[in-house]
Chain A
Amino acid sequence: MTLDDTVHTAEATGGKYVGRSIPRVDGPGKTTGQARFAAEHSYPDLAYAALVYATIARGRILAIETSEAQAVDGVVAVLTHKNAPRMKPAGNLSPFDISSIAISTSVNYLATDEVHWNGQPIAVVVAETPEVANYAASLVTTSYEQWGAKVDFASEVPNAVPDKGIPFMTGKADKGNALGALATAPFTVDLEFSTPQYNHNALEPHATTAVWNGDKLTVHEGTQSLTGVQGQLAKRFGVPKDNVRVLSPFVGGGFGGKARPWAGTLLAVLAARATGRPIRLALTREGVYHTVGGRTASIQRVALGAGTDGRLASIVHTSVSRTGRVGGMPERITEVSHEMYAAPNIHLQQSSVKLDLVSNTFMRAPGEAIGSFGLESAIDELAWEIGMDPIELRMINEPDRGPVSGKVFTHRKLRDAYALGAERFGWKEREPRAGAMRDGRWLVGMGVATAHHTAMQLTASVAIRLNADGTVVVRCAMQEMGMGAPTVQTQVTADELGVPLESVRVEYGDTDLPWGSPAFGSVQTASVTSAVLAACTKLKQAVLILAQRQADSRLKGRKLAELKAHDGGLYSGAKGHKYTDILAAAGREHVDVAYKPNIPAFLARTVRDVGWRPKAATGAQFCEVRVDADTGEVRISRWMGVFDVGTVLNARTAESQLRGGIIMGIGMALSEHTIIDHRTGRIVNPNLSEYHVPVHADVPHIDVHFLNEPEPHSPLGLLGLGEIGVTGVPAAIANAIRHATGKRVVDLPITLDKVL
């Protein structure tokens, strides 16, 4: 592995490591198999669980026959609603109770004979081996009383009910008279878009190892939210939170699918309690589809009206998403139109339907991934309508202030992103006419779309220990799912304390550590960095005080603000001490500090900030597609994303996040699609053979560029970048196909039958 020594942000941080492409600190462990994931922890007497899934969408279990399963050699227990210990009720997801965000569904598994979706777990088989558990699970038979069920999104759309929205995140907006302005605008487009359900498909299917010791519980779990799992388990099993330890040092991908504990987690813990044995429950891929919600299907209307100069007179963006009758949240699809284009008249409205399907849930860039498809396709179509270059049309309508809020952006660099992208991608080679570029059997098209993801920050607490030998341990219950979280915090700490990278070790993924931030909503890096910076300051202050206690201290009378941390110590110019010397002189083995955020102050600041400065990561997605002139097959031949994500802490891990998002967007655009049988609500393709994620051959070389200018109000100037990569991607592809073929495809995924 080579170390890319490009310094991206020397200016921003003055640091030695921040901004460099540092290889992942957990890389060697993962590539050599040392890193152990949730299903790889062994305990004496470990037993294995498998789930039995309901085969109707809605109704009641009349009889469940388990004797055949029970009789299989090696079966320990078959748990159903007839014999399982009861969990406490889940309660409901509420916008007013932040801890309720960990509730994945309101169903109390194995405490009810009611079935709420096709695939709901209705029994757990525990056995001595996973093979026996799976086989015995296949022998459980059930008879049902079936009730009427609503499972088909498209046919429920007419019954959609407007969403109320949640505080700070309303999808609704009304400015001026958008419909009136639309009617009189010289140029208009009015399009209806649809997107299907998508599922997460992390490399690591959900898995839990659960061990009870009296009323103390240890759980190995791949999760994006340690505290969410801990809180839910404590509540559902009626034990104090401190009795529940969740360990999640490695997560094999989450994408939102591991933001909440789902049935597998709860039922593994329940089975462990019922049998008195440590339990491992590793879901099959099909099990993940049945029990973990995906991204909602959606319908959107985007209507735009513009003058002859291309200036928007009206934006109408409405949407319908779906939740489960037993959980999930309406998706904030129109939110992107709050921030994207200036227009005097704007109407935004979100609605939703409730279906008898597993609750929907977060999936990378909820809302914006779908919403940007509608808006960015429509703006492109408007460019065709007017006969204007689509980048130019965007730049004409680039707002100075939040188009709905009227607030000043803290940071908005889309013009720079497009200028850089257009130059590097060779946008001027694009023949403006549709269908005019050809390469043998392929029609060639180029498309762009804007990426946008609202930036948020939560809080975290961090403890740091400086040892007498100069090494540093940072402790924070954050999550690592491959993004590089411990790597960047190692970099930040090394720079802040002025110690070599190798001297810093970050401990994470364990609820016994000071609580961190969840890894969703692209919040983790900003939240934890802010806490690490504060903790480092506290540590340096503590060390400075120790140093100043020495009679011969060269730092006497100095304030921390006047000092620099470098070369493993604190210095004022050339005068100062190494940490090792300070601790040795003071006779200390180590110095410990803990940083805990002031939550009321944080909340007050957040409310104020959300009110007056919309903060977002943005970007420009450029792509080139090839469409087979005979068969309509679409292949992506080139990709470039230029992103403004503030300061880039580690170009290697950042590029990888953005590239992963773009690949996910390619899947959304061209091939992914959770097919739900419109009669039974059963997922037809719950496997990687028929749910088509992009394969290597579908993914072109992806160029990722950063503007790399610090955002003025964020820690180190960084903006979260875990999700923005996927936004704009489906629209850029649809726009390129429009250019290649003259066809506007409004329904995802854009399979060849829609292009043919």
Chain B
Amino acid sequence: MKPFTYVKPPDFESAIPAGAAPRTKYLGGGTNLVDLMREGIELPDHVVDITGLPLDAIEELPNGGLRIGALVRNSTLAADPRIRSRYRVLSEAMLSGASGQLRNMATVGGNLLQRTRCPYFYDTTAACNKRRPGSGCDALEGYNRNCAVLGVSDSCIAAHPSDMCVALAALEAVIHVNGPAGVRRIEIADLHLLPGDTPDLENSLVPGDLITAVELPPPLGARSTYRKVRDRSSYAFALVSVAAALQVEDHKVTEVRLGLGGVGAKPWRAREAERLLLGGPADESAYRRAAEAELAPARVHADNAFKVRLAEATIVAVLRELSLAGVNR
């Protein structure tokens, strides 16, 4: 690992200027950053450990929502009774990610900014525009089974790996940031950037920006769930995942949210599918049509064409399950 300096500031006043210095990284749980430093992919000169900051509370908001501190551990968030009862999709998404040990370390802020698992990003001998801008993309003609099919570009087809972010996209979470320019709020949809010609630019933060919290709007009326499809039962990133909320009244869809994981270059909000579903019939063929419409713009490569069919099938299965569960209740 390349040598670096390490500080653990006690307050924002010292943390943010330290974080704004060139070639500096904030350190949360370290489950992603430290791995990447070991592999020679992240090469910061300075590491600012933020775990001494008071950002580990989950607070009720007057509007009925919740504010989750950026240092809340993934396991704490998943187990919180308020999350489990009011935002089931988020609790399930958290529990489907990584392993128990990793979730105990990983923070909400770090989860938001975790980097792709594209194998060519991880291999410093490979061409990767995200890691080394302008070097090319070995995934295009190489092994791309895990890569994205939505929002991809000619310079990058890496998938966003987070489960949590998919649930947050469906819930329309808001990210609180404190940075050199003061505090601001970013809609989750605007946090992550599509690769375009600059896959190295992954989010709308600027140097020194510190994520302080994730705000959840008041709970939806709809039932929600998270379904993750992968090659083994646990401890694997999603091939496809679906975060969904669905409310059905009189056989009509009255509220729906859909987020997709594993298929998007960023956590994917399936707005087209939602648009088609809302107000329409709550039946299998409507689900299928909506799913197909969402996936219509997909751009597939040699190994990941199956993701289109898999995503469609999973969307349909999840909506079916939610509508049946609603009827039974």
Q: A630-B313, A631-B314, A690-B117 are in contact. Are A695 and B123 (CB under 8 A)?
A: no
Select the stretch in B44-52, B74-82, B207-215, B229-237 that faces chain A: B229-237
Complex-state Cα separation, A690 to B229, whole angstroms: 15
Distance from B52 Cβ to chain A, minimum over Cβ atoms (Å):
24
Q: Is the CB of B233 within 8 A of A630?
A: no
CB distance from A444 to the nearest CB of B (A): 17
CB distance from A335 to the nearest CB of B (A): 30
Q: Is A756 in contact with B142, judged by CB distance below 8 angstroms?
A: no
With a cutoff of 8 Å between Cβ atoms, the chain B residues found around residue A135 in the complex are 1-3
Closest chain A residue to B320, Cβ basis: A630
Partner of A131, one of B1, B120, B236, B310: B1
Give chain B interface residues in 209-266, CB to chain A under 8 Å: 229-236, 239-240
In the complex, which range does the number of interface residues on chain A fall in?
20 to 34
Q: Output the nearest chain B residue to A118 by Cβ-Cβ distance.
A: B125
Q: Is the CB of B231 within 8 A of A671?
A: yes
Residues of chain B within 8 A of A749, CB atoms compared: 231
Q: Which of A373-381, A407-415, A678-686 sits within the interface? A: A678-686
Bound complex: CA of A690 vs CA of B79, how far in Å?
27
How far, in Å, is B122 (CB) from chain A's closest CB? 8
A179 in the interface (beta carbon within 8 A): no
* Interface residue B306 (Cβ < 8 Å from any Cβ of A): yes
Interchain CA distance A332-B117 in the complex, whole Å = 37
Residues B233 and A684 in contact, CB atoms below 8 Å apart: no
Per the 8 Å Cβ criterion, residues 59-91 of B in contact with A are none
Report if B196 contacts A (CB, 8 A).
Answer: no
Residues from chain A with a CB closer than 8 A to the CB of B236 are 692
The answer to whether residues A698 and B309 also contact, given A135-B1, A631-B314, A679-B142 and a CB cut-off of 8 A, is no
Cα distance A246–B272 in the bound complex, in angstroms: 66
B119: interface (CB < 8 Å) = yes
Give A633's nearest chain B residue, CB to CB: B229
**A756/B143 contact (C-beta < 8 A), A631-B317, A670-B231, A694-B232 known:** no
Is B40 positioned at the interface, with any CB of A under 8 Å from its CB? yes
Q: Which residues between 126 and 173 of chain B lie within 8 Å of chain A, taking CB atoms?
A: 126, 138, 141-143, 146
Q: Is the interface of A mostly helix, strand, loop or mixed?
A: loop
- Interchain CB contact (< 8 A) of B125 among A55, A635, A692, A698: A55
A554 CB, nearest partner CB in chain B, Å: 64
**Inter-chain contacts of B310 with A (CB < 8 A):** 631-632, 752-753, 756
Does A36 count as interface, using CB distance less than 8 angstroms? Answer: no
**A131-B1, A684-B123, A756-B310 known; A695+B234 contact, CB < 8 A:** yes
**CA separation between A756 and B314, bound complex, in Å?**
11
How many residues of B are in contact with the other chain, CB < 8 A? 34
Chain A residue nearest in CB terms to B230: A633
- Greatest chain B CB density within 10 A among A55, A635, A684, A696 is at A684
Given the known A-B contacts A630-B314, A682-B125, A756-B313, are A670 and B232 also in contact in the complex, defined by CB atoms under 8 Å? yes
B239 x A752 contact (CB < 8 A): yes
Report the nearest B residue to A687, measured CB to CB.
Answer: B122
Q: Give every chain B residue within 8 A of A633 (Cβ-Cβ).
A: 229-230
Task: Kindly state whether residue B316 has any CB partner on chain A within 8 Å.
Answer: yes
Given contacts A692-B231, A756-B309, contact A630 B143 (CB under 8 A): no
B interface footprint on A729-756 (CB within 8 Å = 1, 0 otherwise): 0000000000000000000010111001
Q: Which residues of B contact A689 (CB under 8 A)?
A: 117
Q: A232 CA to B113 CA in the complex, in Å?
A: 49
A216 at the interface (CB under 8 A from B): no
For B123, the closest partner residue in chain A by CB is: A682
Is A677 part of the binding interface, using a Cβ–Cβ cutoff of 8 Å? yes
Instruction: Look across to chain A and name the residue whose beta carbon is closest to the beta carbon of B119.
Output: A684
Contact residues in A for B233 (Cβ distance below 8 Å): 635, 695, 697-698
Nearest CB in chain B: distance from A432 CB, A? 28
Contact (Cβ within 8 A) A679 B141? yes
Asked whether, in the complex, the Cβ of B3 is within 8 Å of the Cβ of A631, the reply is no
Contacts of A101 in B (CB 8 A): none
Given contacts A682-B123, A752-B239, A752-B310, contact A695 B143 (CB under 8 A): no
Asked whether, in the complex, the Cβ of A677 is within 8 Å of the Cβ of B143, the reply is: yes
Most buried by A among B38, B119, B234, B313: B119
Tell me if A138 counts as interface (CB < 8 A to partner B). yes
A-B residue pairs in contact (CB < 8 Å), sample of 24: A55-B125, A135-B3, A631-B240, A631-B310, A631-B314, A633-B230, A670-B231, A675-B119, A677-B138, A679-B141, A682-B123, A685-B119, A689-B117, A690-B119, A695-B233, A695-B234, A696-B234, A697-B233, A698-B233, A752-B229, A752-B239, A756-B306, A756-B310, A756-B313
Given contacts A135-B1, A677-B138, 16 further A-B contacts (CB under 8 A): A134-B1, A135-B2, A135-B3, A441-B317, A633-B229, A635-B233, A678-B142, A682-B123, A684-B123, A690-B119, A692-B231, A695-B235, A696-B234, A749-B231, A752-B239, A756-B313
The residues of B with any CB-CB pair to A shorter than 8 Å are: 1-3, 38, 40, 117, 119-120, 123-126, 138, 141-143, 146, 229-236, 239-240, 306, 309-310, 313-314, 316-317
